[in-house]
A and B are shown apart, each in its own frame.
Chain A
Amino acid sequence: MNLHLLHQLRLAVTREGVIGRRGFLRGVSVTGLAAGALNWTDLLSLRADELRRQGMACILLWMQGGPSQFETIDPKPGHANGGETKAISTSVPGMQLAEHLPNLAKVAGELALLRSLTTKEGNHQRASFLLHTAHVPTASVHYPTIGSVVSAELGSLESELPSFVRIGRRFPNTGNGGLLGTDFNPFVVPNPAKLPDNTQVATKTDRFERRLALVRTLETAAAGSEATPEIAEHRGLYQKASRMVLSPQMEAFDLSREPDQVREAYGQTDFAAGCLLARRLVEAGVTFVEVGLGNWDTHDDNFNRTKALAGELDQPFAQLIADLKGRGRLDKTLVIWMGEFGRTPRINPRGGRDHFPRAFSAVLAGGGVRGGQVIGSTSSGGDDVADRPVKVEDLFRTFYKSLGIDPEKENMSPIGRPIKIVEGGAAVGELFS
């Protein structure tokens, strides 16, 4: 059997959860597999399933530090806890946002605001992990981050681009492929204005190919024509990596190909560039893109700092929604805005707000989510969830419902313990009605 095909088959099988890598490589011999342990009909049905879901994508706008809900999604202008922040009307009657988000207000018809998120994790690292995996961190199980889950479930096997891209500064405890393996780790682009590291071939293409051919020649000279699993895997990897760097699709990473007016519509910041890059990547077939915006940890001077951050957020976020909508991609792209927790109703003596996981907000758009609605509410002072509490497991079930991923699916931990994608909870059904 063609080894490249084998590699892909392994991925196909893994993502269907039939058997893990170990099972594939060890439990079933290669000939056994070809002979019928998994027959071609099974394989075709796997592929059909994949085709059915193809095209769904997700963009996570990750607000590291814990954005203040009072200054963004859940303003409380009539209450002392709301501080000096005013609310503004949006394009949806009765739906208000904080005054710092005027552009977002214009696309409110596409947004579903969740104002009743609640968790127990008030520590940045643990909460970041929780809001990326739907699990609290433990030493014994490496829970995969949402981008890895989505790329494992939906990523295209044929794509020449990575299926999970993470853009921007590295934020701790945002997770990786974990028990799904390195195939599903994020491909990291630290600076969206630059092409990703090590993706530019230093030599002319013909010399690069000559070098790749020499690798194969020397490998055959050393090992003979029979490929060990080690060599087979290496071949598959180099084939994929070299195809990627030589692919015309890599242009998706190059923002300089966008017209000036498009770049201006998003704005000039790194986060704006990240949002535009996310849109380009999703259009090029990337399944999951995470774009980070940090420094929301406003323990002091909350009002000035959050105003500046919201200003940085507003235009690119709104433009991303409008652009996806205008290009007909919004229905198939779930956009998530969230951080690890919210901030305290009480304003501390330094004019700051502290960590507050008890009642905070997130935003969803696209991906089949009905926009222009608000889910849940907090009490008048924002101290508690007043209506429709949404837990992390509910939130993640909602994401996976939008993307067509079964949250009950079990992946195996290294010691053979089945781990569900999401344990417990229920999707927020109203979002899809």
Chain B
Amino acid sequence: MRWLICILFAVSTLSGGPSSAAEVDQQVAGKSEDQAPLEAAARVDALLAEELFHQPGGTANSDDGTADSASGTVVLAPLTDHEDFLRRVTLDLVGRLPSPAEITAFVLDRSAGKRTAAVERLLALPSFGRNWARYWRDVIFYRRSDDRALLAAGAAEAYLARQFNAGEPWDKLAQSFVSATGDVREEGATALIAAQMGEVNDVTSEASRIFLGVQIQCAQCHDHPTDRWKRQQFHELAAFFPRIGLRPVRNGMRPSFEVVSHDQDRPRRRPMGMLPLGELEHYMPDLKDPGSKGTLVQPVFFLTGQKLPNGETDHQRRDTLAEWMTSEANPWFAKAFVNRIWAELVGEGFYEPVDDLGPDRACAAPRTIDYLAGQFVANGYDVKWLFRAIAGTQCYQRESRPRRNPDQTPFTANCSQPLRSDQIFDVLTAALGTLEGPGGRNRNPQRPMGGPFGQGGPRAQFAAVFGYDPSDRRDEISGSIPQALLLMNSPLIGQAMNGRNPNSTLGRLLAEVADDDQVAVDLFLRCLGREPGEAELTACHEHVRTTNDRVSAFEDIFWALINGPEFLHRH
């Protein structure tokens, strides 16, 4: 460990300083297999410059990220330095901080294309799929209508992780969610239907919100004066789903649910406490006579007008809808995904909230997202391609700034945002040096944790305190008292930080490293993924001096790093 810190410390004094725009430009002309996404990235930057910054070419940069209101030109934040870039891209792609070794290797690397290479390396790690699987698991399950749906969360996460890592295109993945049948503990793609307990209207709403970014559920009960989607259209979409069912099953000793197709006999009676009884066709309720059966509606896909006759089987309906939803004729499918991933990486969406798109919604840069979504389609809905393209933009690589005010130009900087619960959990457990993390050991590591909420396991317990719905606007996510209490006072975190335990991270560090600066550097790297600045190092020195007890002083520093604002945010 000692040699590593020595190298790191040496490196920290040798390197640093912001990278230049020219360097990123060189990356654009990098290796041939990377051409397409990086060309797209350059085009995105150029389009943003034309649309928003009123600067042809998009190369303008300055030292401060504020708008110059006097001249009318927009001032862009400079590109991040390498350390910040690596921290950001590692959190974004694989959901954790870079290790000290990764930081060293990256900072020492003198090649021009090293940012691109870092993106490639991270995309190839299994944790890439896992990180984004957890994101989508949360997208689906935060809007569950019933806590029992969480039975399906573990399988959904495992399925999504596998598919993202295998390079499954987004259209195929989305289709699998719309078409799924099977045991919700086994078939991860059943998550969309399981999360709404098979309730037709809710499944319809969520399929549209998640995969199309269109909030058509507003029209479920009445036509909306400010929206173009009509009540009839909502129910025509619901008419693709009337034959889905969710029935309780016992899989060995474990209770579960199964998503099934009801093509002949719907259960006649609804057993008390059981799931909603449906019809073979969808009926739009009569608002004036809610007790009546309502009007029979035909399956029509509202964005393209494509229709199916009544009487088709469940599979026929859902497979067809899955195809129509994801076809090139419907641009909103690609835009919804691009908008989300862009918003996660750049910190602000073209459309906000990220799941409220459509022809009547304001878009921050319509030509840019049209271009990027078009390229995403042209590249076969290749998820990793999109990450390469966005991470390759200057827009992504700029220094971060707090969220802008509405009257300021978007995308002049990367926007800082709170980390998701899984990211914080992984950063914390890595920093503390315990694999099991606060809350104890996961006794069965083969089985994915039950999900984001209260299904047992330390990660789930942590999520109960730190989790949030990733579809919500990030600037509306606020911290909570229990979060602060957990980080300040959790006995498990406290024990893991104990510097007098020779086997703890801090205990080993203090025993092996005599130089206080090096200990401080190591703690900063572990907790924040960066080295301390001069002022921070001085503050640490001062704390060690006044505390007059080396172990206590470094316990305090460790504690303060975990309890500071930077620990919970991505910059």
Contact A218 B478 (CB under 8 A): no
Interface residues of A in 233-253 (CB under 8 A from B): 233-235, 237-238, 240-242, 244-245
Other A-B contacts than A185-B482, A198-B488, A212-B563, 8 sampled, CB-CB below 8 A, are: A25-B403, A138-B145, A198-B482, A198-B490, A214-B560, A217-B560, A234-B479, A234-B565
Is A140 located at the chain interface by the 8 A CB criterion?
Answer: yes
Is A219 located at the chain interface by the 8 A CB criterion?
Answer: yes
Is A106 located at the chain interface by the 8 A CB criterion?
Answer: no
B: interface residue count bin: 35 or more
Contact A22 B475 (CB under 8 A): yes
CB within 8 Å for A230 and B476 given contacts A214-B543, A221-B533, A237-B484: no
Is A5 located at the chain interface by the 8 A CB criterion?
Answer: no
The A interface, classified by DSSP as helix, strand, loop or mixed, is helix
Shortest distance between the CB of B564 and any CB in chain A (Å) = 5
Q: CA A238 – CA B535 in complex, angstroms?
A: 23
Shortest distance between the CB of B223 and any CB in chain A (Å) = 14
A: interface residue count bin: 35 or more
Interface residues of B in 522-568 (CB under 8 A from A): 533, 535-536, 538-540, 543, 547, 552, 556-557, 559-561, 563-566, 568
Question: A-side interface residues toward B, CB under 8 Å?
Answer: 21-22, 25-27, 29, 122-126, 137-140, 142, 162, 170, 172-173, 181-183, 185, 187-188, 197-202, 207-208, 210-212, 214-215, 217-219, 221-222, 228-231, 233-235, 237-238, 240-242, 244-245, 344, 354-355, 414-415, 417
Kindly list chain B residues whose C-beta atoms are within 8 Å of the C-beta of A245: 485, 488-489
Binding stretch for chain A, among B76-84, B201-209, B318-326: B201-209
14 contacts between A and B (CB under 8 A): A26-B403, A137-B145, A138-B205, A138-B217, A182-B468, A197-B485, A198-B482, A198-B489, A199-B485, A201-B488, A202-B489, A211-B563, A212-B563, A245-B485
Kindly list chain A residues whose C-beta atoms are within 8 Å of the C-beta of B565: 219, 230-231, 233-235
A-facing mask of B204-243, CB < 8 A → 1, else 0?
0110010000010110000000000000000000000000
Contact A414 B217 (CB under 8 A): no
Q: CA A200 – CA B476 in complex, angstroms?
A: 29
The 8 A-B pairs with the shortest beta carbon distances in the complex, nearest first, are A241-B484, A172-B147, A234-B565, A221-B535, A198-B485, A214-B560, A198-B489, A139-B143
Is B72 located at the chain interface by the 8 A CB criterion?
Answer: no
Kindly list chain A residues whose C-beta atoms are within 8 Å of the C-beta of B569: 230
Kindly list chain A residues whose C-beta atoms are within 8 Å of the C-beta of B535: 221-222
Contact A198 B217 (CB under 8 A): no
Q: Which residue of B lies closest to A123 (CB)?
A: B273
Is B486 located at the chain interface by the 8 A CB criterion?
Answer: yes
CB within 8 Å for A207 and B480 given contacts A22-B475, A202-B494, A417-B218: no
Instruction: Among A170, A173, A228, A241, point to the contact of B488 (Cβ < 8 A).
Output: A241
Kindly list chain B residues whose C-beta atoms are within 8 Å of the C-beta of A197: 485-486, 490
Contact A21 B494 (CB under 8 A): no
Is B126 located at the chain interface by the 8 A CB criterion?
Answer: no
Contact B561 A140 (CB under 8 A): no
Interface residues of B in 242-256 (CB under 8 A from A): none
Contact B560 A218 (CB under 8 A): yes
Is B472 located at the chain interface by the 8 A CB criterion?
Answer: yes
CB within 8 Å for A182 and B478 given contacts A139-B145, A198-B489, A211-B563: yes
Q: CA A163 – CA B473 in complex, angstroms?
A: 25
Instruction: Among B202, B273, B471, B557, point to the contact of A122 (Cβ < 8 A).
Output: B273
Q: Which residue of B lies closest to A21 (CB)?
A: B476
